[in-house]
Amino acid sequence: MQELQIKVPATVPQDYTITIGTGLLPSLWPKVESTFARHSKFVVTDANVASAGHLDTLLAGQTVPHFVIEPAGEASKNIETTVAIIEAMEKAYLGRDTVVVALGGGTVGDMAGFAAAIFKRGVPVIQIPTTTLAQADSAVGGKTGVDSSVSKNAFGAFWHPAAVYVDVATLQTLDDRQYRAGLVESIKHALIADREYFDFLESRLDAILAREPEVLEAIAGYNCRIKGDVVEADPHERNQRRMLNYGHTIGHAAESVSNYELLHGEAIAIGIVAAGLIEVEMGLSEPQRLDRVRRILEKLSVPVKLPAHLDEKKLIDILKHDKKAVDKWPKFVLISDLGQVHCPDGKYAVDVSRDTVEKVLRKLS
Ligand SMILES: NC(=O)c1ccc[n+]([C@@H]2O[C@H](COP(=O)([O-])OP(=O)(O)OC[C@H]3O[C@@H](n4cnc5c(N)ncnc54)[C@H](O)[C@@H]3O)[C@@H](O)[C@H]2O)c1
Ligand SMILES: [Zn+2]
């Protein structure tokens, strides 16, 4: 018998630039061409983003091979679409010197990023997020993947972008419900990391809802900095990165029990209120703090209670299947103050008894 030790060096540290502005798209292509001069380009977008005019604006009349995902949205976020994207790249004679450009919301970013991660063992991806959710959350952090018929993001890879361009002007064409739901991730960031950001969101909400560019650029800056810092500290979600799951334990379960009738951000709004109620139950918060959070969510017109017809037993069952569950019960990220995660013994997700969760779910219905 022989035993050989192969030492694989740890991955080389990688950094990338996030550029934030208003109206970046019309002049972005020459920048992509010069930054990735030695690469062939392949653009992935979806039918809604294309019909809103953003693909034409980005390409500015140039002929670039591209793939338009249709139908847009979660329904297409699966392995079949990934195969179609990869085969389109092959048919366009693209090789390892390709850069994939993801233009769209979180579903496009996740699919294009995953296709880039596995095409010829990996080519770079540039993220150009066009939804409030993608600009706040999914474009930064390197999580990519697609759903199986059983569960969300069953296939996936960590595949950090080579560059991110956030053009807040693209948000002008997003429908109102999507726009508002995506802002919930911004509130989450403020709650876990930055009290001053929370004050900012609270005081500038009218301007945010009016989609004023200057305030949108400011929140993009806060979001990317907060998410970037967490991801830098814990790129592979061993501990600290779990704080980004604030509101997501009950939120994900509600999203799934609603059969995805609740948008992700809407479900997370309910999850954030649930976390707040747990914090009150556990003596980590005065009710006034939760009132403040609830008020801002209500002003966004996102739900702060579980939908009436939702099956609570099913929700509990989903909690037991949570991918981070230990002994069939998930741990919860909680905050001890605005901008401050409750982190006893350096643990960012803590035990909450089933009784407490059931009590909170009753208050949420
Ligand atoms: N990778 C991560 O870290 C991460 C984090 C959070 C969420 N996600 C994933 O992101 C996805 C949700 O992202 P999303 O909310 O952006 O959804 P989405 O990509 O489905 O976009 C929402 C809708 O808006 C349309 N759209 C996008 N940009 C538009 C624009 N500028 N103008 C008009 N229409 C536009 C889309 O076509 C779609 O119909 C989920 O699949 C979720 O799992 C990933
Ligand atoms: Zn989320």
Strands (E), 125-195: 125-129, 143-146, 155-158, 163-167
Query: Using one digit for the tens of pLDDT, what is the confidence trace for 250-283?
Result: 999 999 999 889 999 999 999 999 999 999 999 9
Average pLDDT over residues 40-64: 97
| Residue 292 binned pLDDT confidence (cut-offs 50, 70, 90) | very high
Task: Decide if 282 contacts 306 (C-beta within 8 A).
Answer: no
Average pLDDT over residues 60-81: 96
| Residue 11 binned pLDDT confidence (cut-offs 50, 70, 90) | confident
**171 CA: nearest ligand 1 atom:** 31
Q: What secondary structure, in 3-state letters, does 181-197 show? A: HHHHHHHHHHHHHCHHH
| Residue 148 binned pLDDT confidence (cut-offs 50, 70, 90) | very high
Average pLDDT over residues 301-330: 88
Give me ligand 2 centre to Cα 94, in Å.
Answer: 33
Res. 141: pLDDT tops 80: yes
Choose the residue to mutate in 56, 77, 108, 133 for probing ligand 1, maximizing ligand atoms within 8 Å of C-beta: 133
Predicted local distance difference test score (pLDDT) of residue 312: 87
Angle, in degrees to the nearest 10, between helices 264-281 and 176-193: 30
Res. 135: pLDDT tops 90: yes
Average pLDDT over residues 16-21: 96
Res. 13: pLDDT tops 90: no
Ligand nearest to the CA of 172: 1
Query: Using one digit for the tens of pLDDT, what is the confidence trace for 198-216?
Result: 999 999 999 999 999 999 9
Res. 3: pLDDT tops 80: yes
Res. 107: pLDDT tops 90: yes
Res. 93: pLDDT tops 90: yes
In angstroms, the CA 16 to CA 14 distance is 7
Predicted local distance difference test score (pLDDT) of residue 151: 83
DSSP one-letter string for 291-356: HHHHHHHHHTT--SS--TT--HHHHHHHHHT-TT-BTTB--B--EEETTEE--GGG-SSB---HHH
Predicted local distance difference test score (pLDDT) of residue 324: 75
Give me ligand 2 centre to Cα 44, in Å.
Answer: 22
Domain range 17-174, CATH architecture: 3-Layer(aba) Sandwich (3.40)
Known active-site residue 212: no
Domain ranges of the chain: 17-174, 183-207+245-364
In angstroms, the CA 99 to CA 73 distance is 23
Predicted local distance difference test score (pLDDT) of residue 322: 77
Average pLDDT over residues 161-167: 97
Of 41, 54, 180, 248, the catalytic one is 248
Give me ligand 2 centre to Cα 265, in Å.
Answer: 7
Ligand 1, atom 3: nearest CA belongs to which residue? 138
Alpha helices in 174-243 (DSSP H): 176-193, 195-203, 205-209, 213-233
Known active-site residue 48: no
Percent of the residues in the chain that have a pLDDT greater than 70, as a whole number:
100
| Residue 10 binned pLDDT confidence (cut-offs 50, 70, 90) | confident
158: its two tokens:
């960590």
Predicted local distance difference test score (pLDDT) of residue 235: 84
In angstroms, the CA 253 to CA 14 distance is 34
Give the length of the chain.
365
314: its two tokens:
């099913």
**CA distance readout (Å), 218 to 4, 20, 204, 211:** 53, 9, 11, 12
Residue 293 has φ and ψ, to the nearest 5°, of -65, -45
303: its two tokens:
């739900």
**152 CA: nearest ligand 1 atom:** 43
Domain range 183-207+245-364, CATH architecture: Up-down Bundle (1.20)
Q: Which residues pair with 166 in a beta bridge?
A: 20
The mean pLDDT of the chain is: 95
Query: In the block, which residue shows the tokens 């004679």?
Result: 93
Average pLDDT over residues 172-199: 98
Task: Decide if 164 contacts 35 (C-beta within 8 A).
Answer: no
Percent of the residues in the chain that have a pLDDT greater than 90, as a whole number:
88
